Amino acid sequence: MATLDQKPLRVALAGLGTVGIGAYKILMQNASVLEERTGRQIVVTAISARNQSKDRGVDLAQCAWEDNPVNLASRDDVDVIIEAMGGENDPAYTLVKTALENKKHVVTANKALLAYHGVELAEIAERNNVSLCYEAAVAGGIPIIKMIREGLGANRISGLYGIMNGTCNYILTTMERTGEDFAKVLKDAQELGYAEADPTLDIGGGDSGHKLVLLSALAYGCLPDFKNLSVEGIDHLEAEDIEIAAEFGCRIKLIGQATKLEDGRVLQMVAPSLVPKTSPLAHVDGVLNGIFVQGDFVGSSFVEGRGAGEGPTASAIIADVMEIAKGHCAPVFGVPSGKLEKAPTATAQDWRGEFYVRLVVEDRPGVIADIAPILRDHTISIESLIQRGRSEKEPVNIVIMTHDAKGEDIRAACAGIADLPCVLGKPLLMPVLKI
């Protein structure tokens, strides 16, 4: 534990957007609290952003300014860099790498940077005996990194499932509440500031994927491997899917899951999924995040909270700074980077369970008779079938709920069904979780 007679911990901030300013506010407004809890003063000595003259609503006059954020990594009056710029490439990459090489601790909320370069940066941090902390990179204010790495560190993790993107969760919650389709709700979310002008990374599942590979590395000691992750988004969902899911006692959520299969492979996938209403994940609404973890001794653990925004993300950043002030230095991914393994990967093709399948078909006799043999040939058994709509001119939706099936088989069946003349468009396929 640090003692009160130690020198102040000197912090530099790179990026003065919502998150960076949030971190600065905590360091200023709660300075006495942080000193009391760490035994050490924490002071901001230098800052960098794109526009020095912009009014950010706080007094930054006492901080040295650097036009180039990478210069912060070479300053003698800096012990810790808070990287709040974002992006997997420069300038964030060069700043973090240079800081670690110069024996400076780094705190970041940049999940994309770590998903692509995390192992390299972890090796540099360990070689120089400094910390690379990223609690804020996954689920904002939820302390999920510390929970898996430390709180559940005595357990073998068998599975983790998470709602990790507030934008998608808000859209799905609103579609359910209003009955409106995806495009309308997305537009409203953009106007309210819950979705970016370009929402592709969120609604396409990529943001959740970045976070999932970090949690998988912590849970299973495997190398972060975003390139081999199975990722699907929510932009193809309709309000009717949500209504039908409710009839089956489920809600639709974008779930990132990582599970250890019996053969030792680690299955990682992001996909819209049917979640039973009895699951705590089913009740995570709006912009909130929630993560469910299964351990061999602890059993099931669940955490829920705000996953983004100035306050929660900045709070997680400063919590990491406090750990550095106390002298704590944990391996970036729970074990030394040299012990991370290239775990045999499994994909959505290997996931086994029940599936929800929606087909848009011509409304004419014989359609089910055309579909059934394809399902049979791929060993897919139907648990229930619903047909919605009735018109000789308009297509109708057929929803099939299967018994347990392997992802590889149901996807092959859907590919065959899509080739039928009576089927219009690509079938929609979603796993049904049992958690």
User: Which residues are catalytic, by number?
Assistant: 211
Q: Tokens 């130690």 identify what position?
A: 6
Q: Tokens 């009576």 identify what position?
A: 422
Q: Tokens 């055309």 identify what position?
A: 370
SS3 246: helix
The runs of H, that is alpha helices, within 196-309 are: 200-203, 206-220, 239-247
The closest of 332, 287, 434, 265 to 96, measured between CA atoms, is 332
> Which bin fits 205, alpha (ψ -120 to 50), beta or left (φ > 0)?
left
Contact 134, 217 (CB under 8 A): no
Contact 139, 250 (CB under 8 A): no
Peptide bond into 224 cis (omega under 30): no
DSSP character string of 344-385: PEE-GGG-EEEEEEEEEE-SSTTHHHHHHHHHHHTT--EEEE
Give, in order, the Cα–Cα distances in Å from 210 to each of 78, 88, 110, 112, 136. 29, 10, 9, 6, 13
Contact 435, 161 (CB under 8 A): yes
CA 203, chain centre distance (Å)? 12
